[in-house]
């Protein structure tokens, strides 16, 4: 295994290609490194200079007199592979490559060189970061191995003075964006431990770095900037570990737009993957999606200061000295799915004793300027937090003037240390530096963007709920179904595409509907099958070459009587042959009409990165129009199923509307779990499953799988 400790916590660093010319990248890098009090030794390596910025320079990595933990390569790309080999032979344990010109450029030469890097690194067991990396920083050791201007600030220490060590890590594929998080967060007194930019990820990926930091145990919150995931199994393992340890991951993911996908591919050679699938993976593992660098920094601060008191629910109390600002924050909370309930009577009675007649204790609690002057922001927020029907508090304040906050300093520090519920502060004016320092020292997040504050509270509540559900689910690994071998035999005998009667025969072995039997091969057989049914029937053409039967007139609904059955049989078989004369027609399935209910679609799709994903949506045959679908990786637990269905925009339809009773959600959940289990058992065999429509009947009446299709992985 590569030694990431040598990379991130080196005692000796060699800069290969170092230069005294501080206007060039090769000179900027050693200049920035020497601005910070790294306690180890730095060795410049240069063929053209004997001294660099006051340090003796060495002609080659082999000439450095002591063992080198980390070598930073800042030389042209055509020399990188040979120099990496030299590092390996010299016993260098880790290498950072800031040079670009590899897989991110057009053509095959760059990709070939990047592959060589992998092979050389593996042969010597070196930890290699990059190429095309902007470097990294480790605040604990005052290492700034980067050319980022964000680290070119010697007048300000890497850590706020009241933090002995950093607790937030940034790991980003983009160097410039990675260090922008530090630049923004340092102004808000956020204590960073690491900033690591991975570049092209020829060897080390984001997940490798996060895994190391989780095991190291000195980082509590992670900010990730993802362009792609190269190793999905590694991603799952690390995301699982982070969630179980209670270390929140806040991630931005590129690839929502076509333009973003193009830019990503040209930037680091990444392939962006399906954005919606990434969101499903984030939901599953409690990863908070970030939409801007500023927002992610605010989210990180909120999580960091409230990790031990995450909100138990979505009920938020708002304390303010400005009625308008408090009402505006209430709107922002509603937009994020939070509740702002009227406070309980006991809490209101306590608060009312301190309010002028023109204040209000309802929620938002408007103390007005008078109560703020007499009671103080901290005391008022504490009284709101005492309400039994509040899970978290957002304090709305103007932090422009420092005098009042200096007077309350002790109260704020006590609040940060002892308040049992999470608290955030939204400042509707730009904060004075003294206010920033005070809130930072007190461990209270100070946020200047109203929507960010509401989003942070919602994200913390969401994270706690997902984590509790995840931990309660226990081991998500499931044993193979007892009927797996029977199902596999049917799959193996079938062709590339299993039409409805074949698919349902397989799925029924997993409790997914009933085996429909054999299709009718003549009108007489259809009449006979219909006669065995009570009431009207449905006739459906069966052909692996016609996956969407209703689109070609291959379905007849509500058919009653022998003559009508015969006519319908002839009509739909004729329509199928007319649509596709070469279609393999297997006959016509004849079944009783299903009872009415809520039409849904369930299915399994195969993502090129993460493999089988469960899909559930409202609308049945109209799902493409409604676009109301959700995704989740398989397997899913019963708790996850309920949460998944709750994300549907039309989820309330399942509760019963316009005179209809509530749907049988219990039966639907069992169906989804069974489908999930089937997908896990046949990960290697099945590419796609489509159950559409699935009709959800009223409570205790179950569900009906009206149509089914399975596409095997060898279909294409």
Query: Phi, psi at residue 559, to the nearest 5°?
Result: -85, 130
Query: pLDDT band at residue 474, thresholds of 50, 70 and 90?
Result: low
pLDDT at residue 1, as a whole number: 65
- Residue tagged 């409690």 (tokens): 286
What ranges in 429-558 are assigned the alpha helix state H? Answer: 433-442, 450-472, 484-493, 500-507, 523-531
**Cis link prior to 116 (omega < 30° from 0)?**
no
Quote the pLDDT of residue 233: 95
Would the pLDDT of 619 be above 90? no
Confidence of residue 79 (pLDDT cuts 50, 70, 90): very high
* Confidence (pLDDT) at 105: 83
Residue 152 has pLDDT above 80, yes or no: yes
Instruction: Tell me what the mean pLDDT of segment 655-668 comes to.
Output: 87
What is the tens place of the pLDDT at every residue in 392-403?
Answer: 999 999 999 888
pLDDT at 257 (0 to 100) = 61
Joined together, the tokens standing for residue 692 give 């559409």
- For 491, residues 6+ apart whose C-beta sits below 8 A from its C-beta are 498, 506, 682, 685, 686, 710, 712
CA distance 457 to 679: 35
444 CB neighbour count, 10 Å cutoff: 23
DSSP bridge pairs for 538: 591
Tokens of 546: 């016609």
d(CA 108, CA 106): 7
| Interstrand relation of 135-138 and 127-129 (parallel, antiparallel or unpaired) | unpaired
Residues 6+ apart with CB under 8 A from 349: none
Q: Residue-wise over 219-244: b if at least 16 C-beta within 10 A, else e?
A: bbbbbbbbbbbeebebbbebbebbbe
**Beta-carbon neighbour count of residue 34 at 10 Å?**
17
Residue 715 has pLDDT above 70, yes or no: no
Name the more confident of 612 and 269.
Answer: 612
- How far is Cα 26 from Cα 550, in angstroms, rounded to an integer? 66
Across the range 481-502, mean pLDDT stands at 95
| Tens digit of each residue's pLDDT (9 = 90 or more) over 515-572 | 999 999 999 999 999 999 989 999 999 999 998 898 899 999 999 999 999 999 999 9
Report the percent of the chain where pLDDT is more than 90.
82
pTM of the model: 0.92
> Residue 313 gets which letter from DSSP?
S
Residue 170 has pLDDT above 60, yes or no: yes
Angle of CA points 187, 193, 194, to nearest 5° = 100
Integer Cα distance of 602 and 623 in angstroms: 10
Angle at 633 between CA 627 and CA 634, to 5 degrees: 120
Question: What does the alpha-carbon distance between residue 366 and residue 360 come to, in Å, rounded to a whole number?
Answer: 5
The answer to whether 293 and 360 are in contact (CB under 8 A) is: no
User: Could you report the per-residue pLDDT of 264-311, keeping only the tens digit for each?
Assistant: 444 444 444 588 999 999 999 999 999 999 999 999 999 999 999 999
Q: Are 678 and 512 in contact (CB under 8 A)?
A: yes
Task: State the CB neighbour count (10 A cutoff) for residue 489.
Answer: 12
């Amino acid at each position: 295994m590569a030694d990431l400790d040598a990379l991130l916590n080196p005692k000796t660093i060699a800069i290969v290609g170092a230069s005294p010319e501080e206007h060039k990248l090769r000179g900027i890098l050693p200049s920035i490194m020497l601005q910070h009090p790294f306690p180890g030794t730095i060795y410049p390596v240069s063929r053209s200079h004997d001294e660099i910025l006051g340090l003796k320079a060495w002609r080659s990595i082999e000439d450095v007199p002591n063992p080198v933990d980390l070598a930073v390569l800042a030389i042209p790309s055509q020399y990188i592979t040979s120099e990496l080999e030299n590092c390996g032979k010299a016993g260098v344990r880790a290498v950072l490559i800031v040079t670009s010109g590899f897989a991110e450029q057009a053509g095959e030469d760059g990709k070939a060189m990047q592959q060589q890097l992998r092979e050389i690194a593996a042969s010597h067991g070196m930890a290699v970061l990059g190429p095309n990396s902007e470097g990294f920083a480790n605040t604990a050791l005052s290492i700034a191995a980067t050319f980022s201007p964000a680290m070119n600030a010697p007048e300000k220490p890497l850590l706020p003075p009241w933090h002995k060590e950093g607790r937030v890590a940034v790991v980003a594929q983009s160097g410039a964006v990675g260090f922008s998080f530090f630049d923004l967060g340092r102004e808000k007194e956020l204590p960073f431990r690491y900033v690591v930019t991975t570049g092209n990820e020829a060897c080390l990926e984001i997940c490798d770095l996060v895994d190391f930091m989780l095991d190291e145990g000195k980082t509590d919150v992670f900010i990730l900037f993802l362009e792609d995931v190269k190793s999905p199994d590694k991603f799952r393992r690390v995301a699982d570990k982070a969630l179980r340890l209670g270390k929140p991951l806040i991630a931005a993911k590129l690839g929502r737009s076509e333009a973003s996908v193009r830019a990503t591919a040209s930037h680091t050679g990444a392939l962006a993957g399906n954005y919606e699938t990434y969101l499903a993976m984030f939901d599953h593992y409690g990863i908070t999606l970030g939409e801007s660098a500023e927002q992610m920094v605010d989210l990180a601060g909120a999580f960091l200061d409230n990790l031990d008191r995450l909100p138990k629910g979505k009920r938020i109390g708002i304390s303010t000295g400005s009625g308008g600002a408090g009402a505006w924050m209430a709107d922002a909370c509603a937009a994020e799915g939070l509740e702002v309930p009227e406070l309980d009577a006991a809490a209101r009675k306590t608060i009312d004793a301190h309010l002028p007649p023109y204040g209000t204790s309802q929620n938002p609690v408007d103390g007005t300027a008078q109560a703020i002057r007499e009671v103080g922001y901290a005391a008022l927020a504490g009284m709101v937090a005492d309400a039994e029907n509040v899970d978290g508090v957002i304090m709305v304040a103007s932090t422009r003037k420092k005098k009042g906050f200096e007077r309350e300093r002790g109260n704020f520090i006590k609040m940060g240390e002892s308040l049992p519920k999470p608290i955030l502060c939204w400042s509707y004016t730009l904060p004075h530096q003294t206010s920033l320092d005070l809130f930072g020292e007190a461990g209270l997040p100070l946020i200047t963007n109203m929507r960010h504050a509401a989003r942070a509270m919602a994200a913390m509540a969401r994270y706690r709920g997902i984590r509790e559900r995840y931990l309660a689910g226990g081991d998500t690994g499931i044993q193979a179904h007892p009927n797996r071998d029977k199902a596999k035999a049917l799959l193996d005998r079938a062709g590339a595409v299993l039409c409805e009667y074949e698919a349902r025969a397989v799925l029924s072995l997993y409790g997914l509907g009933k085996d429909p039997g054999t299709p009718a091969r003549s009108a007489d057989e259809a009449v006979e099958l219909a006669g065995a049914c009570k009431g009207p029937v449905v006739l459906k053409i069966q052909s692996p070459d016609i996956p969407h039967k209703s689109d070609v007139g291959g379905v007849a609904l509500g058919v009653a009587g022998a003559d009508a059955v015969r006519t319908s049989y002839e009509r739909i078989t004729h329509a199928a042959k007319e649509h596709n004369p070469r279609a393999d027609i297997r006959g016509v399935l004849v079944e009783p009409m299903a009872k009415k209910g809520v039409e849904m679609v369930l299915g399994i799709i195969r993502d090129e990165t993460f493999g089988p994903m469960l899909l559930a949506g409202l609308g049945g045959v109209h799902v493409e129009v409604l676009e109301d679908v959700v995704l989740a990786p398989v397997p899913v637990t019963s708790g996850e199923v309920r949460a998944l269905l709750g994300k549907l925009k039309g989820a309330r339809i399942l509760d019963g509307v316009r005179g209809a009773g509530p749907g049988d959600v219990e039966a639907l959940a069992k169906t989804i779990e069974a489908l999930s289990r089937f997908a896990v058992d046949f990960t290697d065999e099945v590419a796609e499953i489509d159950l559409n429509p699935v009709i959800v009947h009223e409570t205790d009446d179950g569900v009906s799988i009206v149509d089914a299709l399975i596409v095997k992985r060898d279909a294409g």
